[in-house]
Structure formats: structure tokens, C-alpha cells
């Protein structure tokens, strides 16, 4: 049984997890750094523990501090949210060693699937279409020969990368040594691993991912796909479900491929299998798997009516999946806009005090956030402060509803990307669905 969950995270996802726990009659513990004393997530849990100074390495990423907080509050389980320790197999192992239930898959699965090179090998074995990889050891004639065979343009990626960081498009060999040297350093610093690899760069892709969920009794289903093509610097800005570019046949193929991978690795939690869909070739390729809840999970919840966090907790309690594939039906369309505290011109974070915050509401509008009027956004964490999620019968109505919602939103005192969302939502190409991941660069 799970009686008390410590949420090893902050901000909107901590609040989101607490809500599901409350509905399941599970007690909650929040942790917070000294910079987050006034964050909503530290106020809405049954108990809150300060675990250290603002720097994430000393607080939210500090294994000992997090585990000590669980120990002193008697939490039997830890929900890691996304980011921070959510895909850290060493931390998951430490939880198990301390007799604490880590709400997620096993440390072995986290480790295997957390490495992009290894997870692609596994996906190949599960018969998923995968873009070939070349691991970069050093820049020499052998590597150049392999790259020539693959053909430019190529993309250099960090094997342990995430959040769109550590990637660079390469269109010729010019300056390759220096680029590799720099990316290795960056990757070591950000992810503790300097392994880089190369894959073919797809010029016009859509980002399509499939939500899967498996239990510890061998049952595994999918909850459809999400389209996360509207991105800036490889980071998602708007997500939606379903994707309007897939035919019924393609949808079936991509969802089945995700289920096949999940079954192949005996996946037993909530997870996402990510693909790129090449618009020119009309082919899709597996790129990576995320073994955690994702930022954009609400759009799936809106069209399926399934609480993914509750499901994740029930699975961690050893319960059998309460849904079979045929129980899942898809209802209408949902869009999520990530509201970031950022400068609209430079896209740099814009922390500071919120002078006035008004959340949109009304039928079919959900807001997942942790901010309020008078709240001071700290400078040390991610700039996403709120997610507006709309749900309606079809895509056009959903866009209209989202336009209404973001127009209703007031977020003053800081700079934000609300105007960017308005611009996208009124864009002709966005309405037609005729765009790739380059969309934001072009508008
Ligand atoms: P991360 O784990 O850092 O989020 P991903 O591998 O999931 O990195 O890729 C993030 C985004 O980068 C994708 O959604 C896509 O826009 C872009 N991308 C990744 N691989 C390729 C590729 N081979 N060709 C073109 N774009 C790519």
C-alpha cells in the first residue's frame, strides 16, 4: 500500500501530483528549497520540508536531502515528477535500497532507456524503425567515412541528453573537431556523460509521441499519441492530441510500435515513446523513450478521461491496470500552451514578482500552475510557470477555446510568452496543420 508520498519536485508538477494523491486518500509531503518557500507546491501538501539552498544540486537533486526528508516524515513512496531525479537510475536504486517505493519503472529500465544510443538498439530489437546512430569516439577519418555514408545534414546529440540540450546540426566537416570538443564538455557538465552520437538530420519532421502504460502483471496499453511539433530550440511550446496529420492506418502503426517496445522491455509504469515523423518521406522513426510523466500529459488526460498520475501510483501499488485497450476511447481534441516567464524577444528567463495573475477558466479549460498574485518567481529554475490546457469537440473549436483562454489570462509584472501563443493560435499554417518543427522559426 502507498499511504504517504513525498513529491521530489517543485512547481506545477508537484501541485499536480498532490491533487491525485488527495483524491486517492494518500498523504503528501512537499520538499522545497529556500528559494521556493512561497511556491504553491510548498503550501498545498499535508507536510512540507525545506531541503536546502536554491541551487538544485544542493536541494532538488540532492539524494541525501530528499531521502532524509522522506525518512523523517515517514513517507513510504517518492514521486519524482519530471526533470530533476525522475530519470536518475542511481536515485531510484537508492530509494529501493532504503525501502522506499519509487513511483516509476525499475532502475534497470530507467538506465537502459535513459541512454539514447542503447534505447535505440533496444527499439531496433523490438522491430521499431530507428535512425542509424554513429557513436563519436574521436573525430578521425573512420568517423568521417561513416558520416559520408550517412550523408549530410547530420545531427550531433548527447547520449544522456534531455530538454533539447546538447544538439547541433552539421552540414559539412568544417570545424567538426571544435564542435565535438565543445559539445562533449557541455554534455559532461549538464548530464555527467560526454558520450555523443550522430544521426541523420530530418529536415521536416513532426514530433509525435505515444503515451503507454503498463502494470506489474504483464498488461500494457497505449493512450494514443500527442503531437509536439511546435518547438523552439528543440523544446516543446505547444502540444496537442490527437495529431491531425496521421491517417488512421499510420496512427495504428505508430501506437502499436510503442506498445511493442513497452512489451519488449516489460515496461511497468507510465511512459512515453517518442518518434519523428518525416513529412517528406512519410515515415516515422523512434528517437527516445521517457520513463516518467511528461509535461504534456494533460492533453492525453483530457481526451481519454484517464488520470495518468493516479494510474502511475496504482501501478506502483502493484494493482492491475484498471483499463484494457478497448476501454480507452478518444474524445475530441486537446491543446496545451506552456506559459513561460521569458523575454519575448530574447527568450531568456524573466523572473521577478507577479503583480497580477488571473487564470482563465470556463468549460473545457484547465490550468496547471503554482503561481499567484504577489508570488516572486525565483531565477534558479525552469521558466515554465503555468500550463493552459483546452479541450473541445474538434481541433478548430479547441483552437478557438484556447484563443479565448490565453486572451483572458493576465500575468503582469514579468515578461511572458503569452503573445507568442496568441500569434501561433491565429496563424494560418497552424490552423491548416501544414508545418514542421521549423514552424516557430518561420513565423
Ligand atoms: P531531448 O531528449 O533533448 O528532448 P530528443 O531526442 O527528444 O531530445 O529530440 C528533441 C527534438 O529535437 C525533437 O522533437 C526534434 O524536434 C529534434 N530532433 C531530434 N532528433 C532529430 C533528427 N534526427 N532530425 C531532426 N530533428 C531532430
* Choice from 234, 284, 296 to test ligand 1 binding pocket (greatest atom count within 8 A of CB): 234
Number of structural domains (the chain) is 3
- Give the CATH number of the domain where residue 57 resides: 3.40.50.20
pLDDT confidence of residue 166: 82
% of the chain with per-residue pLDDT over 70:
100
To the question of pTM greater than 0.95 for the whole model, the response is yes
- Give the CATH number of the domain where residue 149 resides: 3.30.1490.20
Which residues have C-beta within 8 Å of that of residue 286, sequence separation ≥ 6? 120, 123, 128, 129, 130, 257, 261, 273, 274, 275
Q: Do 277 and 147 belong together in one domain?
A: no
Nearest residue by C-alpha to atom 8 in ligand 1:
164
Q: Do 143 and 90 belong together in one domain?
A: no
Pocket residues: Cβ below 6 A from ligand 1: 131, 155, 161-165, 199-202, 205, 207, 231, 234, 274, 276, 287-288, 437
- 292 is a catalytic site residue: yes
Retrieve residue 81's grid coordinates. 515528477
% of the chain with per-residue pLDDT over 90:
98
Indicate whether 165 pLDDT > 90.
no
**By residue range, what is the domain housing residue 85?**
4-103
pLDDT confidence of residue 164: 82
- In Å, how far are 19, 333, 396 from 38, measured between CA atoms? 18, 35, 38
The active-site residue, picked from 10, 292, 338, 366, is 292
Nearest residue by C-alpha to atom 16 in ligand 1:
234
Q: Do 251 and 322 belong together in one domain?
A: yes
* Choice from 167, 168, 274, 435 to test ligand 1 binding pocket (greatest atom count within 8 A of CB): 167
Report yes or no on 117 lying in a domain: no
Per-residue pLDDT, averaged over 271-277, amounts to 98
What distance in angstroms lies between residue 320's CA and the mean position of ligand 1's atoms?
34
pLDDT class of 307 with cuts at 50, 70, 90 = very high
pLDDT confidence of residue 404: 98
Q: Do 173 and 145 belong together in one domain?
A: yes
Q: What is the pLDDT of residues 31-87, one digit of tens each?
A: 999 999 999 999 999 999 999 999 999 999 999 999 999 999 999 999 999 999 999
**Nearest atom (ligand 1) to Cα of 116:** 6
What distance in angstroms lies between residue 180's CA and the mean position of ligand 1's atoms?
18
**Nearest atom (ligand 1) to Cα of 201:** 24
Q: Do 275 and 372 belong together in one domain?
A: yes
Average pLDDT over the chain reads: 97
Strand runs labelled E in 255-294: 270-278, 283-290
Q: What is the pLDDT of residues 203-223, one digit of tens each?
A: 999 999 999 999 999 999 999
Q: Are 239 and 211 in contact (CB under 8 A)?
A: no
Residue 212 DSSP label: E
Q: Do 285 and 347 belong together in one domain?
A: yes
Q: What whole-number distance in Å separates Cα of residue 270 and Cα of residue 213?
A: 4
* Choice from 230, 283, 287 to test ligand 1 binding pocket (greatest atom count within 8 A of CB): 287
Q: Do 191 and 210 belong together in one domain?
A: no
What distance in angstroms lies between residue 202's CA and the mean position of ligand 1's atoms?
9
Amino acid at each position: 500500500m502507498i499511504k504517504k508520498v513525498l513529491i521530489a519536485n517543485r512547481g506545477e508538477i508537484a501541485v499536480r501530483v498532490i491533487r491525485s494523491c488527495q483524491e486517492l486518500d494518500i498523504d503528501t509531503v512537499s520538499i522545497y528549497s529556500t528559494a521556493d518557500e512561497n511556491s504553491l507546491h510548498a503550501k498545498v501538501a499535508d507536510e512540507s520540508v525545506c531541503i536546502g539552498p536554491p541551487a538544485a544540486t544542493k536541494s532538488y537533486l540532492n539524494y541525501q536531502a530528499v531521502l532524509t526528508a522522506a525518512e523523517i516524515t515517514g513517507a513510504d513512496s517518492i514521486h519524482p515528477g519530471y526533470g530533476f531525479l525522475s530519470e536518475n537510475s542511481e536515485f531510484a536504486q537508492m530509494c529501493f535500497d532504503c525501502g522506499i517505493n519509487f513511483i516509476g519503472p525499475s532502475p534497470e529500465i530507467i538506465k537502459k532507456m535513459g541512454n539514447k544510443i542503447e534505447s535505440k538498439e533496444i527499439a531496433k530489437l523490438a522491430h521499431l524503425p530507428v535512425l542509424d546512430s554513429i557513436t563519436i569516439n574521436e573525430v578521425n577519418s573512420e568517423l568521417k567515412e561513416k558520416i559520408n555514408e550517412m550523408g549530410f545534414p547530420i545531427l550531433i546529440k548527447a547520449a544522456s541528453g534531455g530538454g533539447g540540450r546538447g544538439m547541433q546540426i552539421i552540414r559539412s566537416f568544417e570545424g567538426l573537431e571544435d564542435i565535438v570538443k565543445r559539445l562533449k564538455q557541455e554534455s559532461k557538465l549538464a548530464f555527467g556523460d560526454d558520450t555523443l552520437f550522430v544521426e541523420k538530420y530530418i529536415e521536416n519532421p513532426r514530433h509525435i509521441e505515444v503515451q503507454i502504460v503498463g502494470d506489474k502483471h504483464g498488461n500494457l496499453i497505449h493512450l494514443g499519441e500527442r503531437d509536439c511539433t511546435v518547438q523552439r530550440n528543440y523544446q516543446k511550446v505547444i502540444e496537442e492530441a490527437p495529431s491531425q496529420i496521421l491517417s488512421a492506418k499510420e496512427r495504428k502503426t505508430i501506437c502499436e510500435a510503442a506498445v511493442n517496445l513497452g512489451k519488449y522491455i516489460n515496461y511497468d509504469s507510465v511512459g512515453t515513446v517518442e518518434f519523428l515523423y518525416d513529412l517528406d518521406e512519410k515515415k516515422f522513426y523512434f528517437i527516445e523513450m521517457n520513463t516518467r510523466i511528461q509535461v504534456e500529459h494533460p492533453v492525453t488526460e483530457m481526451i481519454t478521461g484517464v488520470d495518468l498520475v493516479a494510474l502511475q501510483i496504482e501501478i506502483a501499488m502493484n494493482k492491475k491496470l484498471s483499463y484494457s485497450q478497448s476501454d480507452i476511447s478518444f474524445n475530441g481534441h486537446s491543446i496545451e500552451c506552456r506559459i513561460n516567464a521569458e523575454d519575448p524577444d530574447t527568450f531568456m528567463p524573466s523572473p521577478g514578482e507577479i503583480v497580477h495573475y488571473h487564470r482563465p477558466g470556463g468549460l473545457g479549460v484547465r490550468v496547471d500552475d503554482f503561481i499567484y498574485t504577489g508570488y516572486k518567481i525565483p531565477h534558479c529554475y525552469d521558466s515554465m510557470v503555468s500550463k493552459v490546457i483546452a479541450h473541445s469537440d474538434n481541433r478548430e473549436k479547441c483552437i478557438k477555446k484556447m484563443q479565448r483562454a490565453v486572451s483572458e489570462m493576465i500575468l503582469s509584472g514579468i515578461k511572458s510568452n503569452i503573445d507568442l501563443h496568441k500569434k501561433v493560435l491565429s496563424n494560418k499554417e497552424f490552423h491548416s496543420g501544414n508545418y514542421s518543427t521549423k514552424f516557430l522559426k518561420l513565423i
